[in-house]
Amino acid sequence: MKQHWIGGEWTGRANREPIDIINPATEEVFEQVPDGSREDAHAAVVAANKAFGVWRRMTAVSRGELLHEVADRLKARTEEIARLLTLEGGKPLRENIDEVGWCVACFRYYAELGRNSRGRVIPSIESTQLSMVLKEPYGVAVCIVPYNYPLLLMTWKVAPALAAGNTVIIKPSSITPLATLALSECFDVLPPGAVNIVTGSGEEIGHALVAHPDTHVVAFTGSTGTGRKIARQCAESFKKVTLELGGKDPFVVCEDSDVEVAARAVAWAACLNAGQVCTSSERIYVQRSIADRFLEALVNFTGTLRIGPGIEPSTDIGPLARDHYRRNVEEHVEEARKRGAVVLAGGKRPAGFQKGYYYEPTVLTNVTPSMKVMTEETFGPVAPVMVYNDFDEAIRLAQGTQYGLGAVLFTRDALKAKTFFEEVRAGSIWINDPLTDNDAGPFGGMKMSGLGRELGLEGLEEFMETKHVHWDFVQQEKPWWYPYKRE
């Protein structure tokens, strides 16, 4: 059984039943991790605070060099760690190889950015003064990570937190903790306690870390409901928090689009990682004049996607991470069907699989705005398609959600593109290229999709406090009404 990684050492308590790690392709338990306690969380906080005194005083150049070494070690173990990601999460191996590569790039990006961003000098009000705006680390950062991209979404938090001079405690998902624990061999080049990994439930470990008086900033990716709870906890002590929460992203296809290309893009945006992507396109809006051709192309293409265990090279769509996530998808599709939606492709568990949490890539039409597949996060390989008449209607439909994480538009019309990114309230707008990331570009949500940003300079500054230093080189006597007495 794996253990916690605290203070540069493996440690764990044996007085609790461990957490089973299940391969979603076979439903078999293949590893266990500790179900951590509040005592484990506290030990990680103590270790992280102790390391903070060392890590924050290192030069930014030295920290950057060590983060590059973390990236080097991670790159050297790409195949091994990608395989772990596939076994515990189900995502196809080639996608997990990409995920590890993205993590390597992110560590390198912040290794460089972190040593070049430390504030600014501002004009002073007198000639004998110097005014500086400094950026300083908060202290101990709590990084709570979901199951769908366990390493990438961890790296988006940990890399900038470390680059800014914070130490970190990672609470991985209980579904996919193994690849994160394997990174201990990459993090052990850092001072002991600079990175700590504690496994266990969100109700106990997550709560204990967020509420602890000696943690100073929280970065969370997960559901909107859990995000609300964390925000309330942080509000009690005015603790800094960033929240990347749920989404219900629209994908608008205009009549000037290449239908075949747009259909493949929708399939990618809806079915990547079996639809378990925060920015999956879960509401598809197609202009009426091309709707029939688009639906035909979408159905034809989704029919070519190969379902199977992620470990097999031929697999396009792996299983969902757990059966209760699949049941949620089934509930949304069934509710839509009962209310008049038409299933053009998929809509069921695939034949030929006795085990595994598989669900067919699904295309629905005749959906309405009030159906669950159009209002609640489905998080599965489902593309519900609505038809619109004019672009103003498409904008209204795209805006018709409490969420604001991302939105996609396919068009060759520059004016429509400008109108779309100005009018649609979402943190990321993709035009003609869905779901691509850029380490230098900030990522995060509006409305009920969260607070704060990850990636880019903004992602670094989420882990830095601002301090103004007002320095007068001369001890000047001031008028009597200044807030101190003259000698």
Residue type, 381: P
Number of neighbouring beta carbons within 10 Å of residue 176: 25
| Structure-token match 């030069």, residue found | 59
Number of neighbouring beta carbons within 10 Å of residue 7: 18
The distance of Cα 164 from the centroid of its chain, to the nearest Å, equals 19
Helix, strand, coil percent content, the chain, rounded in steps of 5: 40, 20, 40
Tokens of 296: 């035909």
- DSSP letter at 147? S
Backbone torsions φ then ψ of 89, nearest 5 degrees: -115, -20
Q: Known catalytic residue: 244?
A: yes
Q: How far apart are CA 73 and CA 445, in angstroms?
A: 32
Backbone torsions φ then ψ of 266, nearest 5 degrees: -65, -45
Q: How far apart are CA 282 and CA 278, in angstroms?
A: 10
Backbone torsions φ then ψ of 10, nearest 5 degrees: -80, 130
CB 454 within 8 Å of CB 242 = yes
- DSSP letter at 481? T
Using alpha carbons only, give the angle 34, 73, 209 rounded to the nearest 5 degrees. Answer: 35
- Dmax (CA) of the chain: 89
Kindly name the residue from 88, 99, 278, 282 that is annotated as catalytic: 278
**Pairing mode, strands 406-410 and 249-253:** parallel
Residues near 442 by beta carbon (within 8 Å), at least 6 away in sequence: 427, 453, 454, 455, 456, 457, 458, 459
1, burial (CB in 10 Å: exposed 0-12, middle 13-18, buried 19+)? exposed
Backbone torsions φ then ψ of 44, nearest 5 degrees: -65, -40
Tokens of 258: 């290449």
β-pair partners for 196:
169
Measured CA distances, 300 to 164, 260, 296, 350 (Å): 48, 10, 6, 17
Residue type, 219: A
Q: Known catalytic residue: 335?
A: no
Q: How far apart are CA 141 and CA 164, in angstroms?
A: 11
Q: How far apart are CA 30 and CA 164, in angstroms?
A: 37
Kindly name the residue from 31, 95, 99, 244 that is annotated as catalytic: 244
Catalytic residue positions, numbered: 244, 278
